[in-house]
Amino acid sequence: MSDFIAQFVGVGHQYKKGAEIFKGATFNIEPGSFHFLTGPSGSGKSSLLKMLYLGLKPTWGSIRLFGEDPLTMKPSLLPLLRQQVGVVFQEFKLLDHLKVIDNVSLPLRVRGIEAKRSYRDARELLNWVGLGDSLQAYPATLSGGQQQRVAIARAVITRPQLLLADEPTGNVDDDMAIKLLHLFEELNKMGTAIVIATHNQRLLERSPYPHLTIRRGTIIRTPKRSKP
Amino acid sequence: MNNSQDLPLKNDIAARFLPLIIGLMVYVGTLCFVFTLFILSATHLWENQLRTQITLEVPASPGASSAPLQAQVLQVLSKTPGIQQASAVPKKEVETLLQSLLGTTLPVDLQFLPVLIEVSLNGREPIDIPMLEARLKIISPQIQLIDHRPWQVQVSSLINASVVLASTLTFLVLLTALVTTTFATRTSLLIHRQVVEVLHLIGATNEYIAKQFQVHALKQGLIASAIGAAFAFLTFIGIAALLEKAGLPSTSLSSFSIQAFCVFALSPFVTGGFMMLSARLTVMRGLRP
Ligand SMILES: Nc1ncnc2c1ncn2[C@@H]1O[C@H](COP(=O)(O)OP(=O)(O)O)[C@@H](O)[C@H]1O
Ligand SMILES: [Mg+2]
């Protein structure tokens, strides 16, 4: 078992009909760490996260996740890796035919946790993100900001080892953004490693966490700085 | 609470036709199967009789009693190897038979009717028919020997043919149900590939996803085939009533009805099980990278 949650060495991806995203991205994610992933729009933040949650295969380079090589491991074991990772997708990917409470409890159900406990946890979490009144609503009836919070609740409910969030504050006002950042910090205190892709300047300025910045096809790591 | 609804399978428009097809298939399939069973059980007795019986016609001589002639014939029969039992059909029985065929208004003089002697063979020793015939002709040249056994070959090949036909139909019906389920599941997997992708990304195993399709297919199969089987059962009862009216002994029919009922009662479970299995295999194959 490796000491890193994720290790990327010289990773790159080439979309079939598009640009080459990375030339060689090399970085590590340590257990319990907290990173912001930054870079201009179109620089490949979402693509990088996709490779981290095994939604996209690197065209070259090597990846290790929890010490395993996902490219060579048995496909039937991939769900076990994915179950350690929580993801807030940029476009949410909520299931429209399920109520908010069913969406949020889904990751627990998928892991075989009994319904009663799943619903209790989901209700608690939704109350915390201010959606206690919308448990029985369908996602399509909610605002963008509300949907984003549902997506966040679904990603954190399993207390994953690694949480990936793609622009998780893109649709909420600054106060809610700060509140959601607190949620991520709480989770981080309990041991979850966190990577947040964002270009929310206020969020970046008020937090001391190190940055992974995408620049010219590589990843540059800016170390932790002291809180202002 | 809603373990089987993480995929919106209930709303699949493309799969709406499936219960209808399954219901129809079960209707046709169970009736074919029951028909096969019926032929097998009803003809077993009949075929057996054909195989083990011959009939003698002893002419009646007007004015004289046929009793001495009868006695002679029975004596010859008792000395012939391979015969289990022989006895004359009582006049009364012949009379009722004739009346049922010709009606009671026609006066029939029983004196002029030949006496029928039913001979059962024991089936263990071979019987020498030409030899028996020759001996009987010595008693009276007008005695007729009717051997039913050549018929038996034709009857049994007819039975075999209908059994093959009916079971082929049953098999085809099952196959159609299977193929239809596979097709519907594959379509549904395609329609819901985005939901399936999300399920995968949040850690669902292929088994978890397949289970959703399985439970759905089982439910659909159980309900649709229960309805199909219920209609088939009603049809069967109707046909049985007609047959009974037409003179089929109700005792043989009622004992057969229990078998038939089992077929109708079990068919939803068999069909549902098959559909569940085929949904699982289809999904597991469809999700393989
Ligand atoms: N599925 C795809 N097919 C082709 N090109 C893509 C695809 N997804 C993203 N891209 C391209 O890859 C580049 C990086 O996209 P993305 O990872 O979404 O960047 P970011 O999240 O930083 O805005 C963009 O130029 C985008 O057009
Ligand atoms: Mg993006």
Say yes or no to pLDDT of A3 above 60: yes
Higher pLDDT, A180 or B49: A180
Cβ distance A212 to A37 under 8 Å?
yes
3-state secondary structure chain A: CCCCCEEEEEEECECCCCCECCCCEEEEECCCCEEEEECCCCCCHHHHHHHHCCCCCCCEEEEEECCECCCCCCHHHHHHHHCCEEEECCCCCCCCCCCHHHHHHHHHHHCCCCHHHHHHHHHHHHHHCCCCCCCCCCHHHCCHHHHHHHHHHHHHCCCCCEEEEECCCCCCCHHHHHHHHHHHHHHHHCCCEEEEECCCHHHHHHCCCCEEEEECCEEEEECCCCCC
Beta carbons within 8 Å of B226's beta carbon, 6+ residues apart: B268
Say yes or no to pLDDT of B86 above 50: yes
Beta carbons within 8 Å of A209's beta carbon, 6+ residues apart: A34, A35, A36, A224
Residue B1 confidence class, pLDDT cut points 50, 70, 90: very low
Nearest CA-CA distance, residue A177 and chain B, Å? 24
Q: Give the Cα separation of B136 and B69 in Å (integer).
A: 10
CB-closest option in A75, A83, A93 to B198: A93
This prediction's pTM: 0.78
Higher pLDDT, B288 or A126: A126
Cβ distance A159 to A11 under 8 Å?
no
**Averaged over B215-230, what is the pLDDT?**
94
Beta carbons within 8 Å of B224's beta carbon, 6+ residues apart: B18, B19, B20, B22, B23, B26, B271
- What interface predicted TM-score (ipTM) does this complex get? 0.92
pLDDT of residue A53: 95
pLDDT of residue A222: 87
Ligand nearest to the CA of A37: 1
Mean pLDDT of chain B, nearest integer? 83
pLDDT of residue B268: 94
Nearest CA-CA distance, residue A63 and chain B, Å? 18
Tell me if A15 CB under 6 Å of ligand 1. Answer: yes
Nearest CA-CA distance, residue A154 and chain B, Å? 9
A110, closest residue in chain B (CA to CA): B204
Q: Report which of A30, A26, A31 is spatially closest to residue A51, judged by C-alpha positions.
A: A26
- Give the residue whose CA is nearest to atom 5 of ligand 1: A18
- Residue B60's alpha-carbon distances to B97, B104, B109, B235, in angstroms, are 18, 22, 11, 49
pLDDT of residue A193: 96
pLDDT of residue B253: 67
DSSP letter for B142, please.
T
DSSP letter for B11, please.
G
Tell me if A50 CB under 6 Å of ligand 1. Answer: no
| Interval A159-192: pLDDT, tens | 999 999 999 988 788 888 888 888 899 999 999 9
Say yes or no to pLDDT of B35 above 90: no
Cβ distance A208 to A224 under 8 Å?
yes
pLDDT of residue B111: 65
Tell me if A47 CB under 6 Å of ligand 1. Answer: yes
| Interval B68-82: pLDDT, tens | 888 888 888 888 888
The residue whose two tokens read 């299995």 is B277
A109–B3 CB contact, under 8 Å? yes
Say yes or no to pLDDT of A86 above 80: yes
